[in-house]
Amino acid sequence: MKKLTLFSIFLAAVVIILGAYTRLTDAGLGCPDWPGCYGNLTVPLSEEKVAQANAAYPERPVEAFKAWNEMIHRYFAGTLGLCVLAIAIIAVRQRHKGTPVKLPLLLLGLIIFQAALGMWTVTLNLLPVVVMGHLLGGFSVLSCLFVLYLRLRNRTYEAYHLGLNDVPIEKAASDTSQKANSFQSSLKLAAFIGAGVLITQIALGGWTSANYAALACTEMPVCESGWQDRIDIPGAFSVPDAQNYEFGAHDYGERVTMHIVHRLGALITFVYLLALGISVLVSRYATSKQKHVSAFMILALFTQVALGISNVVFMLPLAVAVLHNAVAAILLLSLINLIFTLVTRTQHTRALNNDRQNSHALSGSRPLHSAGAFRTDASTPNAIAGSTSSHILPRAPGGFYG
């Protein structure tokens, strides 16, 4: 199951990349129906089938390049759905072995909803809310698969993979241990907030892309002159009435607003995650695993910022724009990995403290002396008043003496 989950993570990443490629090549409606393409399982290529397709959908004539982009994306998404179904079935069958069940079932529900969003993307003519939701759904599936893989790996190789032996919590003195515990708790809260910030930024990027506002601003650091007069927050985050949302339905000022808000979100995300990563790297209370994950997260963060700037400077090159989506997924997974180490660290510390309390309770317990059981007989010759001799043994029932 662990290998299948790892393969599914790879598939989910490919689906996200293919989805970005499909969107950026304006192929979201490359096939105007769902789940097939012009009523076929593959793109119609013969003259006869192309003629039939054009007759059935005169407003959307066959464009083989766009149609293939859309169908390849659907093929990979369908394969991912089958893999998630297999994971859910295996998890239910192996639940008596301690295999996680709730998360695989949640994944199965997400995949079904994601398929529905894929259908609505086509049938609602690229409605921006649906397109953004479809993007967030893909990131959600990828994240849940990654968490499942971490749980399966942790269940099998916990001590080795999470570096529980190199954490200063167990080795430090009592006051240092308390500081380490406090740092880990504070860091966990900060990491969860960081996840919220990053997910919000991904949603803003999805909204900007779904409304074709990626090139609404082509100058740095904010936008073209006069952008202050074009700001329209309510209009930018509304859905105008339109028959078709391909190539966008918002006016220029609303798209400028989307783009500027996305840039502002990128700045906030960059500063927050950079501060989070540096705080882990310089702390003496962070584990080596957490430091490695944070270093990787910072590298992904700088790469993502460079790609975002390149999108503007070089006018949205296809390869750079696709990589921008891929690195966003990598950045999210690195943050999830950091959160997982913190949650597991907290659970391990709590279990360790419980074990210590139980050990102290056992070591500090004293033998019970009841009237009907063990008692010291003061009449024995060895029972001298005030004596502390270790040879004085209690009388056992039945008259046996030590």
Give catalytic residue positions.
Answer: 70
CB 111 within 8 A of CB 141: yes
